[in-house]
Structure 1
Amino acid sequence: MEMQKVTSATGLGTRGLLLFVVLLVSGCSGVQSVLDPAAPDARLIARLSWWMFASGTFVLIVTLGMLLVAVNLQRGGDRIDVSFRTSAIIVAIGGVAAPVIAIIAVGVSGVLIGDQAEGAEDVGLTVEVHGNRWWWEFRYLDEAGEVTAVTANELHLPVGERAHLLLKSDDVIHSFWVPNLQGKTDLIPGVTNSLYTEPEVAGTWRAQCAEYCGIQHALMAALVVAEPREAFDAWLAQQAAPAVVTEHPGLDVFLDYECGECHAIRGTAADGQKGPDLTHLASRETLAAATLPNTPGNLGGWITSTHKVKPGALMPPTAPEQQELFALIEYLGMLE
């Protein structure tokens, strides 16, 4: 019976260890992981992260080892007399010198990596990134600095080209962070900050606000899509065009319920600027700042039950009649 208990406990411990290893390894990859870089700048940051992790692990092992030695000596009744001079040297080296050296090394490495990550050479694309409570707006600029296309909560970038992101906020402090592509940078009201990134491969990653900005901070996200230049040019041309449908019963519902006071659908009477531009809503993968997949059901739920999805959201819920809602969902689903 005792042997069975030991075997059961050993098996349970083994399974627990395997689960811990799987979870640990899975955290090193994904669409929002600093340890799975897809750009040169992110690779530098990941390298620094691994060095910090290794240094921290070494310090932890040494500390635990010394603690175990002290515990065992105490239990065994042994006593080691150490002079005050020796104790002072140990404290000075282990408690002062080593931490100071580690802090200086990490600080210098961070500054050097920051300088490299801020390189502005050969910029091929400029995008204004506007942080709002609680969603993102992306404005694509031409060489003259004029806005050519506007979209929300989905940033597209060409693969292999360095992009310059101009970070702005009109309400509170936000922070734009795409761990797989670059470090985080704050968006401060009245200040324009710069961020550079250069995705090396095609893919989709998650951007996140990394500065607490209110009740829906955790759900203030966006998708970042890197694609070949040809596909990017086609997408940008589509986003720059006016709405593909400008007459529809659903548009009448949209205007009757004054949705156009906050949202713009270019090519129609809806010209609001307070909320996301919906001109090409159907081309986006998500709704509500990457909170929901962009499906007709989720769109209907977002329109009628806004605060159940994101409590505190500034968009008021709308309650049209059933047929009006169906027409509205149908129309918005045509805006590709």
Structure 2
Amino acid sequence: MDTGLWHSALWTAGPQAGEILDLWRLTLAVCLLVFLAVLAALAFALRRSGRATRETPAELGGLAVPEAGPRRAVAWALSISAVLLGALLVQSVATDRALAALPLQGALHVEVTGHQWWWAVHYDDPDPSRTFDTANELHLPVGRPVVLTLRSADVIHSLWIPSLAGKKDLIPGRTATLVLRADRPGAYRATCAEFCGWQHAWMALPVIVESQAGFDEWASTQRQPAKTPTDTLALQGRRIVLGGDCVMCHRIAGTEAGARSGPDLTHLAGRATLAAGALPNDPAHLAAWITDPSAHKPGVAMPAHAFKPDELHAVVAYLQSLQ
């Protein structure tokens, strides 16, 4: 599915990704020089070996006696290689320090937990009343440092936002931290970069970078509980959802649904995709996902639901009201 999200380590939108790109460019240049030097040495050796076979006395077995020139060339090659590798080491250390040098005054703190195969996102705040949860979508304010606390709920995952930062592993039982800053508004794609099971490829995390005012407006909406719909059909769907087995896995703030083993559904309709990027978020795909999740994401933990057509229509209407 084409989501229109930026997903390239060569198109950077933050200082961390920029530092990594500079190191990659230096590494590419050094490797290219070494590759060309090896090809030149190979061509020289082939040329010399052919001439030695014709001109070397038979008692030497057709092998040329090493001359001072080639020995000096080898010494120069080794010296230059050592210098180039040393330069890469120095640049690597400098890059690592630059990645850790981002000022964190006024940083936004977000906790991201990897599941098979979706992302739980918790926005922290010194004021507990301002914390909130969402899933499968990360919103960030432009120009503000962000501290991502990373955890895994099951197997090893790895969060990678190519345009904003490098990779960071999420290991069960451990906590990792990824610090970044997005300097350019836009929509970027994060992904799991560590094979974590059957649907590893469908574990996307859209990263929406917007102005501080836009982010504050979005966060204010996310802090609100789910509204009780006034539409008759949506009200019927609400009764079905809250009276069925959906509440055993999902949370909908403002209702008795408080489980956390599945994605938070409080503001589901405001997200662009379903199932961590597997499907677009529209009524038709939502109905298909509810009816048979494994048909679209084989191996997923969510079970199929055999709703009657009118019940399914009502459930979709309710979930689409969760803006």
Q: 1:89 to 1:289 in 2, by over 3 A?
A: farther
Which residue does the alignment assign to 1:243? 226
Which residue does the alignment assign to 1:211? 194
Which residue does the alignment assign to 1:279? 266
Which residue does the alignment assign to 1:326? 313
> For 1:110, which of 68, 76, 92 is the aligned residue?
92
Bigger drift between 291-300 and 105-114 goes to 105-114
- Output the TM-score relative to the length of structure 1: 0.83
Which residue does the alignment assign to 2:293? 306
Query: 1:1-336 residue pairs with structure 2 within 5 A?
Result: 31-71=6-46, 81=64, 83=66, 90=73, 94=77, 97-121=79-103, 122-144=105-127, 148-245=131-228, 248-336=235-323
CA RMSD of aligned residues (A): 2.5
Instruction: Provide the secondary structure at the position in 2 that maps to 1:302.
Output: helix
Structure with the greater relative contact order (CA < 8 A, sep ≥ 6): 1 or 2? 2
Alpha-carbon distance, 1:226 to partner: 0.5
Q: 1:47 to 1:145 in 2, by over 3 A?
A: farther
1:116-157: CA deviation from partner (whole Å, max 9, x where unpaired) = 212352242111111111111111111257771111111000
Contact 1:126 1:140 in 2 (8 A): yes
Q: 1:97 to 1:329 in 2, by over 3 A?
A: farther
Provide the aligned length of Structure 1 versus Structure 2. Answer: 307
Q: How far, CA to CA, are the matches of 2:24 and 2:187 in structure 1?
A: 22
Alpha-carbon distance, 1:74 to partner: 6.2
Instruction: Provide the secondary structure at the position in 1 that maps to 2:107.
Output: strand
Instruction: Provide the secondary structure at the position in 2 that maps to 1:255.
Output: helix
Alpha-carbon distance, 1:240 to partner: 0.8
Larger Rg: 2
Q: How far, CA to CA, are the matches of 2:68 and 2:300 in structure 1?
A: 63
Instruction: Provide the secondary structure at the position in 2 that maps to 1:52.
Output: helix
Read off the aligned partner of 2:30 and give its amino acid letter.
Answer: S
Alpha-carbon distance, 1:330 to partner: 1.2
Instruction: Provide the secondary structure at the position in 2 that maps to 1:166.
Output: strand
Q: How far, CA to CA, are the matches of 1:42 and 1:62 in structure 2?
A: 30
Unaligned runs of 5+ in 1: 1-29
Unaligned runs of 5+ in 2: 57-63
Alpha-carbon distance, 1:54 to partner: 1.7
- Output the TM-score relative to the length of structure 2: 0.86
Contact 1:119 1:196 in 2 (8 A): no
Identical counterparts, % of pairs: 40
Instruction: Provide the secondary structure at the position in 2 that maps to 1:196.
Output: strand
1:168-201: CA deviation from partner (whole Å, max 9, x where unpaired) = 1121221111010011111122222111111111
Q: 1:74 to 1:85 in 2, by over 3 A?
A: closer
Q: 1:251 to 1:99 in 2, by over 3 A?
A: farther
Instruction: Provide the secondary structure at the position in 1 that maps to 2:131.
Output: strand
Bigger drift between 282-291 and 119-128 goes to 119-128
Contact 1:120 1:164 in 2 (8 A): no
Contact 1:73 1:79 in 2 (8 A): no
